Amino acid sequence: MVLVGDRGEFDLIKLLTDGLSYTPQTIVGVGDDCAVYEISKGKYLLATCDMLIEDVHFTRKTASAFLIGCKAIACSLSDIAAMGGHPLFALISLGLPETTPEEFATDLYVGIRSMCRDHQVALIGGDTVRSPDKVVIDVSMLGDCPKGKFILRSGAKSGDAIVVTGYLGDSAAGLDLLNKKVSESDSERRSELVQAHLAPEPRCQPGIFLAENFDVHAMIDVSDGLAGDLGHICEQSKLGARIHADKIPVSDTLKEFCRAARLDPLAYAVTGGEDYELLFTLSPKELACLKSEWPEEFELPLTHIGEMDKAIKGINIVSPDGREQPLQVRSYEHFKKR
């Protein structure tokens, strides 16, 4: 008997959704950050859902209820941002064991409601049910596209610059610290990395800014790690990519932590997930304009890390000494045995 644990997440999704028959209104179905539905002529709805289960996606041992609630909303906001869309409203299904302290439920909702308020998302409905032993949170979020434009993973062109917002790898290092796989004696550094994991900031305004003002060809949010998510752009755009190791943005905090712990920051930055930064491609000329117009108030670095190249299969990485070699793509997949 084949078990679902014998397959990787992406294989399983393919098996379950292969050959789905969509209606003509379904512009984009399963396989991007959001689905796209044409609700009336030229008006597109973005739709995404994310399920978080206790002891798989979070644990009450290391995360406060407030932050779990915030992050549940942040994941969905990030999916909408990665299409260049505006979030509109959300539905929350919540499964709670009977033994959950009521304070956990109310604090969770304080987080959910505060994140919704900050991003002007209307929390319009939901379902609250009993769960035998784990807290389960499912967020569905609907959004729309300013000027009817949305950015897919599949539109990258050969020669495009590959650009990422913010820094990569902090979240994965924070998770390792929470799981006590590594340690950090400097409490400020520890707290910054842990914060990156527990309280990621979805890039809503930057996503809208990019969609409204620039000809961005492909975009995704970095939830599965740079290698995995750039891999999705490559696959869906049917192109390869080259990235430059010394250009991958790593925060000073991650560098210092890795120096002390004798770890490679690049490993965190390339394969770590849940940074929720935006990864996108556009022509070098368009990138030049973007750099000059990127709003300072975003307080968010923009880094050109490589280029799309039809001559490459998969992803190549160029080391500081100029050597170029294929990157072993690895990203977080539910189910996959490691």
Residues in 67-126 at the binding interface with a copy of itself, rule: CB under 8 A: 88-89, 91-103, 105-106, 109, 113, 117, 120, 122-126
33 labeled binding residue? yes
| Contacts of a copy of itself in 183-222 (CB under 8 A) | none
Please tell me the total number of residues recorded for the chain in this structure: 338
23 labeled binding residue? no
252 labeled binding residue? no
332 binds a copy of itself (CB under 8 A): no
Q: Whole-angstrom Cα distance, residue 72 to residue 75? A: 6
- We find the least distance from the C-beta atom of residue 177 to a copy of itself, in angstroms, to be 22
Whole-Å CA distances, 75 to 33, 185, 337: 10, 30, 24
Which one of residues 77, 138, 218, 268 is an interface residue with a copy of itself (CB under 8 A)? 138
55 binds a copy of itself (CB under 8 A): yes
Enter the DSSP assignment of 15: H
114/158 with CB nearer a copy of itself: 114
Residue 169 CA, distance from chain mean position: 12
Buried b (16+ CB within 10 A) or exposed e, 158-185: eebbbbbbbbbbbbbbbbbbbeeebebe
* CA-based nearest residue to 50, from 100, 105, 5, 92: 92
| Contacts of a copy of itself in 35-54 (CB under 8 A) | 35, 37, 39-40, 43, 45, 47-54
Sheet with 136-144, strands from edge to edge, namely 26-28, 35-40, 43-53, 136-144, 86-96, 122-130
| Contacts of a copy of itself in 267-306 (CB under 8 A) | none
22 labeled binding residue? no
* CA-based nearest residue to 27, from 175, 152, 116: 152
| Contacts of a copy of itself in 18-37 (CB under 8 A) | 20-23, 25-26, 28-30, 34-35, 37
Which residues sit in the known binding site?
Answer: 33, 48, 50, 57, 79, 109, 126-127, 153, 221, 223-224, 274, 332
Which residues sit in the known binding site for substrate?
Answer: 57, 274, 332
